[in-house]
Amino acid sequence: MKALILAAGLGTRLAPITNDMPKSLVPVNGTPILLKQIDNLYKNDVTDITIVSGYKAEILKNVVHSLYPEINIIQSVNYSTTNNMYSAFMAKNVVGGNKFLMMNADVFFDASIITALLANEAPNAIVTDIGTYIQESMKVVEKEGRIVAISKQITPEDALGSSIDVYKFSVEGGNAFFDKCAEYIEGKKEVKMWSEVALNDILPDIVFKSCPLEGRWLEIDNHEDLVAAEELFTEV
């Protein structure tokens, strides 16, 4: 199992902290978000990790490689004009053709979530905070035991819950995902799309199931989120 961490974003809403570091290195009670994710993966024996960096890429590389020199880092020079679908597509030749986990590098969460995702029998799965509706998060719709939609626009009435932006792909699922990314990026020249747009498009053909959340999580987009994360993760 491989892992792909998307960490190219600017993190402008976390300024001035992000004036000097990428968003993924913003610390929660002293532990940078990205290093927590890496630790979560290592604790679950997932050590073949690729990170797509962008903003403040050199700082990210120095921090990660000082602790984990074996981790592969791909730098996106177009980070300011693209979105995370573009970042994911940059890793196609590294993780494509393999089973892999994918996550956004602005989510602080417990290692138990990766444990549950790996143990989940579904080859393709979305970690879902079932029953929770968060306006800014991707929401999922489930019908007849499979996820049929993922987007931010899903209504509270239709939503099973909120995605925490942690995904598991089979070889087939990953190939379909990257093919759909190629349609947008290479075919339509659309580079500012969320990766979940491509994921949503393949749901009629690839069975994805929800993996119920087992642990704590919080997406950190702004200073209020950071305060909330430090309260939630008083004990890491």
pLDDT per position as a tens digit, 159-210:
999 999 999 999 999 999 999 999 999 999 999 999 999 999 999 999 999 9
If one counts the domains in the chain, the total is 1
Confidence of residue 69 (pLDDT cuts 50, 70, 90): very high
- At residue 13, the pLDDT reads 94
Computed over every residue of the chain, the mean pLDDT equals 96
- Rounded to an integer, the average pLDDT of 8-16 is 93
Quick one: how far is CA 124 from the chain centroid? 14
Confidence of residue 235 (pLDDT cuts 50, 70, 90): confident
Domain that holds residue 136: 2-232
Q: Is residue 204 exposed (0-12), middle (13-18) or buried (19+ Cβ within 10 Å)?
A: exposed
- Rounded to an integer, the average pLDDT of 98-124 is 97
Each as own residue / partner, the long-range contacts of residues 28-34 (CB below 8 Å, 24 or more positions apart, any chain) are: 28/108, 28/220, 28/226, 28/229, 28/230, 28/233, 28/236, 29/230, 29/233, 29/234, 29/236, 31/236, 32/63, 33/105, 33/106, 33/107, 33/108, 33/220, 34/5, 34/7, 34/60, 34/63, 34/64, 34/105
- Rounded to an integer, the average pLDDT of 126-149 is 95
Q: Is residue 88 exposed (0-12), middle (13-18) or buried (19+ Cβ within 10 Å)?
A: buried
Q: What is the CATH number of the domain that holds 9?
A: 3.90.550.10
Confidence of residue 31 (pLDDT cuts 50, 70, 90): very high
Residue 236 DSSP symbol: -
- Rounded to an integer, the average pLDDT of 97-103 is 97
Phi first, then psi: give them for residue 229, nearest 5 degrees. -65, -40
Q: What percent of the chain is predicted at pLDDT more than 90?
A: 97
Q: What percent of the chain is predicted at pLDDT more than 70?
A: 100
Phi first, then psi: give them for residue 42, nearest 5 degrees. -60, -40
**47-62 confidence digits (pLDDT tens):** 999 999 999 999 999 9
Question: Within 13 A of 182's CA, how many CA atoms are on the CB side?
Answer: 10
- Rounded to an integer, the average pLDDT of 57-68 is 97
Strands 31-32 and 27-28: antiparallel
Task: Give 11 or 73, the one with higher predicted confidence.
Answer: 73
Q: Is the pLDDT of residue 143 over 70?
A: yes
Confidence of residue 37 (pLDDT cuts 50, 70, 90): very high
**What pTM, to 2 d.p., does this model score?**
0.96
Confidence of residue 236 (pLDDT cuts 50, 70, 90): low
- Rounded to an integer, the average pLDDT of 66-89 is 95
